[in-house]
Amino acid sequence: MGKVNYAAIDIGSNAVRLLIKSIDREAVQEKKIKKVMMLRVPLRLGFDVFSIGELSEKKADKLRRLMKAFRQLMKIYDVDDYRACATSAMRDARNGRTIIKKIEKDTGIRIEIIDGQEEARMIYNNHIECMEDRLGNYMYVDVGGGSTEINLLTNGELVWSVSYNIGTVRMLSNAVKEGTWQQMEEELMKVTEGVAAINIIGSGGNINKLFRLADKKDKKLQRLPVSSLQTVYDVLKPLTPEERVEAFSLKQDRADVIVPAAEIFLKIAEVVHAEYIYVPVIGLSDGIIDNLYAKSLEKEMKAE
């Protein structure tokens, strides 16, 4: 069996992504997986959901049209298998399941609403395989538009995993429930008590952008000192989203969410006393494809 093309559709609270990767089963390890295309569309579903509790007709229609387009792109790129996952916004939307049924009927694309724990597992599983140094204690933090997934990893093993309804779009919509921050802080303090030298592995588009904006960082290790993140945050915070677009060439849909994302990372870093945030360029889409590939290998082994 030669090349297999896999696609991942990640329906997030801020953006919707289509990632297509080609896996050459006969190639040597490092050339095995190639990114064929990545498309990110800022549908910003969370702004509807976290303010009115459901997706508006307009947003639902845009999502349906986008899935039609993704369907065509997957045909053009000869995709063998795909998985479409929706996260926090669709989990919270009153009409989420109805919309998903309609989309499947209209486009043939089956969307699964996954919970925070599965989302977290898919992301950190993918990253663990990419980590050269698995020793030590890491807090794996994925900040999304609707939720933040946190996992404690010790020497590459998952010790603790939790999802909190604290996300960038949710914060901008003033929809984070009172007490959720305190709950996160208390649980983090409890789980890290007596755990030495914890650093953070950061995931999500915002931390990648914050890393690029920081002056002091270790590019070779993809490592951002928490003090540098604080400096970037202090510069961005007083500016309006329009001023951030102008000064730092940010996309409009990044300029507003980047500040609450920095706040979430800084809060977690403060609680767990982290000095650094490692910033690998890996997200849920990569995790979905990794998962599809692993399942196909499993099937083959069973067939043998």
Whole-number Å distance between alpha carbons of 259 and 266: 11
Q: Which two tokens stand for residue 248?
A: 């730092």
For position 31, what pLDDT does the model report? 52
Do 108 and 77 sit in the same domain of this protein? yes
- Domain assignment present for residue 290? The answer is no
* pLDDT, tens digit, 9 for 90 and up, residues 257-276: 999 999 999 999 999 999 99
pLDDT class of 2 with cuts at 50, 70, 90: confident
- Domain assignment present for residue 50? The answer is yes
Do 152 and 278 sit in the same domain of this protein? yes
Task: Look up tokens 């794996």; give the residue.
Answer: 140
Mean pLDDT within 95-113: 97
pLDDT class of 280 with cuts at 50, 70, 90: confident
Do 81 and 181 sit in the same domain of this protein? no
Do 144 and 251 sit in the same domain of this protein? yes
pLDDT class of 116 with cuts at 50, 70, 90: confident
* pLDDT, tens digit, 9 for 90 and up, residues 241-260: 999 999 999 999 999 999 99
Does the predicted TM-score (pTM) go above 0.85?
Answer: yes
Give 217 or 105, the one with higher predicted confidence: 105
Give 302 or 84, the one with higher predicted confidence: 84
- Domain assignment present for residue 275? The answer is yes
Do 170 and 269 sit in the same domain of this protein? yes
For position 30, what pLDDT does the model report? 53
pLDDT class of 83 with cuts at 50, 70, 90: very high
Do 84 and 185 sit in the same domain of this protein? no
Q: Which two tokens stand for residue 186?
A: 């208390």
What does the mean pLDDT of the chain come to? 91
CATH of the domain at 49: 3.30.420.40
- Domain assignment present for residue 86? The answer is yes
- Domain assignment present for residue 239? The answer is yes
The answer, yes or no, to whether residue 93 has pLDDT greater than 70, is: yes
Give 119 or 124, the one with higher predicted confidence: 119
Do 189 and 278 sit in the same domain of this protein? yes
* pLDDT, tens digit, 9 for 90 and up, residues 12-36: 999 999 999 998 877 655 557 889 9
Whole-number Å distance between alpha carbons of 217 and 251: 22
Do 71 and 154 sit in the same domain of this protein? no
- Domain assignment present for residue 294? The answer is no
> What range defines the domain where residue 20 resides?
3-114
In total, how many domains does the chain have? 2
* pLDDT, tens digit, 9 for 90 and up, residues 217-237: 887 778 999 999 999 999 999
Task: Check: CB of residue 262 under 8 Å from CB of residue 233.
Answer: yes
Whole-number Å distance between alpha carbons of 294 and 302: 12
- Domain assignment present for residue 121? The answer is no
- Domain assignment present for residue 147? The answer is yes
Do 224 and 134 sit in the same domain of this protein? yes
Whole-number Å distance between alpha carbons of 202 and 226: 11
* pLDDT, tens digit, 9 for 90 and up, residues 159-184: 898 999 999 999 999 999 989 999 99
